[in-house]
Structure 1
Amino acid sequence: MNTKTILLVEDNPSDVSLTRRALVKNAISNPLVVTEDGQEALDYLFCNGKFSTRNLTDLPVVILLDLKLPKIDGLEVLRRIRADSRTRRIPVVILTSSGQEEDISTGYDCGTNSYIRKPINFTDFAETIKQLSLYWLVINEPPP
């Protein structure tokens, strides 16, 4: 049974904390799983390493993906998500500080559903998380 988990792939502890605070502020109670690098995210999704006992059919309802990650960068994580039939339909939102046109273009070329630059102040960040959550957790009709 899918618990409508949100997967946050983020290596910056401050951004993880801001995301948690924004979810609480907006009364979003979905479980949040945090992976701190690209390899850990892929291990989580494909039930490898420390996640080998996780149920592969219990996939996140949405993935919030940073681009600048250790081990495997966010764009490569996205490519691997889209290359696998088990994960290719999971909505992936790139949530990053990068506004470089090349990152935006490549993100969409690799199959992101949305590209959002992280707002700098908490109020704007919390509003962004609220809107993201409203759309991906409530309004959007996920594939069966």
Structure 2
Amino acid sequence: MNAEADAVRPVEILLVEDNEGDVRLTREALREGHLRNRLHVVEDGERALDFLFRRGEYAQAPRPDLILLDLNLPRRDGREVLAEIKTDPSLRRIPVVVLTTSRAEEDLARSYDLHANCFITKPVDFDQFIQVVKTIENFWFTIVVLPPA
């Protein structure tokens, strides 16, 4: 894709999150952001993998430019999802931001062992949560150069 086409295309973000409140806050923060984006939300690890591998109802799903991944998910947890993403040649270059309530050192270490691109503990404060999501958007889509889709 050329730079002109990239400027017109909205950024595709996959949010893997089962907490409706966090989904709402993330939507709001991205709506206030500076980039056109399309937020796709799935609420469990199984659906995340279906989306990424374009299975079933997600056969026409776009390839995400960024994945925001919670660790504690129903059906398949975020660690399993991360492991599958980072071992698949067609998906492993997609940046994965682990965005979780966990403060456990073993979750931090395991996420990086599985090649997460970064690990962020979700703030409980509303304004701080919004700021964190805006910072993620700014960093990954303004500062970082991402590989082509």
CA deviation map 1:71-113 (0-9, x unaligned): 1000000000011111000000000000100000000000100
CA deviation map 1:41-88 (0-9, x unaligned): 000000112112x16xx4111100000000100000000001111100
Q: Percent identity?
A: 48
Q: Which runs of 5+ in 2 are unaligned?
A: 2-8
In the other structure, the counterpart of 2:42 is 35
108, 129, 136: which one aligns with 1:132: 136
1:68 maps onto 2:75 in alignment: no
TM-score if structure 2 supplies the norm length? 0.89
Q: Displacement, 1:130?
A: 1.0
SS at match of 1:31: strand
In the other structure, the counterpart of 1:15 is 22
Q: Across the two proteins, how many residue pairs are aligned to each other?
A: 141
Q: Displacement, 1:27?
A: 4.2
- Partner Cα distance (2:16, 2:108) in 1: 17
- Partner Cα distance (1:115, 1:96) in 2: 8
In 2, are the aligned partners of 1:91 and 1:112 still within 8 Å (CA)?
yes
In 2, are the aligned partners of 1:26 and 1:126 still within 8 Å (CA)?
no
In 1, are the aligned partners of 2:33 and 2:137 still within 8 Å (CA)?
no
Q: Displacement, 1:4?
A: 2.1
In 2, are the aligned partners of 1:39 and 1:72 still within 8 Å (CA)?
yes
Q: Which runs of 5+ in 1 are unaligned?
A: none
- Partner Cα distance (1:140, 1:133) in 2: 10
In 2, are the aligned partners of 1:9 and 1:38 still within 8 Å (CA)?
yes
SS at match of 1:107: helix
Letter aligned with residue 46 of structure 1:
F
Letter aligned with residue 32 of structure 2:
K
In 2, are the aligned partners of 1:8 and 1:63 still within 8 Å (CA)?
yes
1:143 maps onto 2:135 in alignment: no
In the other structure, the counterpart of 2:56 is 49
In 1, are the aligned partners of 2:10 and 2:35 still within 8 Å (CA)?
no
In 2, are the aligned partners of 1:95 and 1:115 still within 8 Å (CA)?
yes
5 Å matches for 1:56-135?
58-135=62-139
In the other structure, the counterpart of 2:5 is none
